[in-house]
């Protein structure tokens, strides 16, 4: 495979189509935030995108939601399907974290929210997929909260909340202790537009020791 060191994790304006194809191939239709919606957020500074290119084509990308001056969310990290398990995503992430450490000196961690393999009632194929993703994030150094984020249906229906796992990467010297974790979880729910009095929010926060 050709070397892509010079084009590793370079910030772009998101106007290209390569990253969008990878992104849309990662998710089902009901999970996708519209590409054009993200492009508006890139232009406004509410989100940022970095791409890794090889031979003029994007092979990996990451999107960071800039929630406020203290909170960053790594919303997506994706590699082109035929190039996965080759260390591309790991190298992209390592450079991204270095960039964020330099640019966000006031932010102590970037958070990641992934589907929880421990969720009851999911089929075994889905569970295996979630376990594989968790192994990746552990391999690249993610620090996991042992609790579960409960995420209510975004359409306001009475469906059971889904379970997510929260992890983070240190960007500063301060560790993520329980008060900091509580603040981060409350901020994430606000970002997801879930009311503070929602039972899912209360149940998630109750798991913090």
pLDDT tens-digit map of 9-65: 999 999 999 999 999 988 776 677 899 999 999 999 999 999 999 999 999 999 999
pTM: 0.93
Regarding beta strands 71-79 and 149-151, do their DSSP bridges make them parallel or antiparallel, or are they unpaired?
unpaired
High-pLDDT (> 90) share of the chain, %: 82
The verdict on residue 98 lying in a domain is yes
Angle (deg, nearest 10), helices 18-26 and 35-44: 120
Tell me which residue range forms the domain holding 16.
7-104
So what's the pLDDT on residue 28? 72
Q: Count the neighbouring beta carbons within 10 Å of the beta carbon of residue 58.
A: 23
Q: What is the pLDDT of residue 27?
A: 78
CA distances from 3 to 56, 95, 169, 175 (A): 12, 15, 27, 35
Question: Do residues 153 and 137 share a domain?
Answer: yes
Q: How many CB atoms lie within 10 A of CB 104?
A: 18
Work out the angle at residue 23's Cα, subtended by the Cα atoms of residues 190 and 105, and round it to the nearest 5 degrees.
Answer: 50
Better-scored residue on pLDDT, 64 or 209? 64
Where does a domain end: 52, 74, 104?
104
CB of 50 closer than 8 Å to CB of 62: yes
Domain end position, chosen among 79, 104, 129: 104
115 and 154 housed in the same domain: yes
Query: What's the structural domain count of the chain?
Result: 2
CATH number at 32 reads 3.40.630.30
16 belongs to a structural domain: yes
């Amino acid at each position: 495979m050709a070397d892509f060191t010079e084009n590793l994790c370079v910030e772009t304006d998101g106007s290209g189509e390569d990253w969008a194809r990878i992104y849309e191939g990662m998710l089902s239709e009901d999970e996708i935030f519209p590409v054009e919606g993200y492009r508006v957020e890139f232009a406004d500074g509410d989100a940022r995108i970095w791409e890794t290119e090889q031979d003029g084509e994007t092979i990996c990308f990451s999107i960071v939601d800039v929630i406020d001056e203290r909170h960053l969310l790594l919303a997506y990290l994706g590699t082109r399907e035929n190039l996965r398990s080759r260390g591309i995503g790991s190298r992209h992430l390592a450079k991204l974290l270095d960039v964020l450490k330099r640019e966000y000196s006031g932010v102590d961690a970037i958070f990641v929210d992934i589907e929880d393999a421990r969720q009851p009632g999911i089929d075994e194929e889905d569970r295996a997929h979630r376990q594989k993703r968790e192994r990746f994030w552990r391999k690249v150094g993610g620090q996991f909260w042992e609790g579960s984020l409960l995420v209510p249906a975004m359409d306001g229906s009475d469906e059971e909340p889904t379970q997510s796992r929260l992890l983070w990467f240190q960007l500063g010297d301060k560790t993520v202790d329980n008060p900091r974790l509580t603040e981060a979880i409350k901020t994430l729910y606000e970002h997801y537009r879930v009311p503070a009095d929602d039972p899912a929010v209360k149940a998630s926060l109750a798991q913090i020791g």
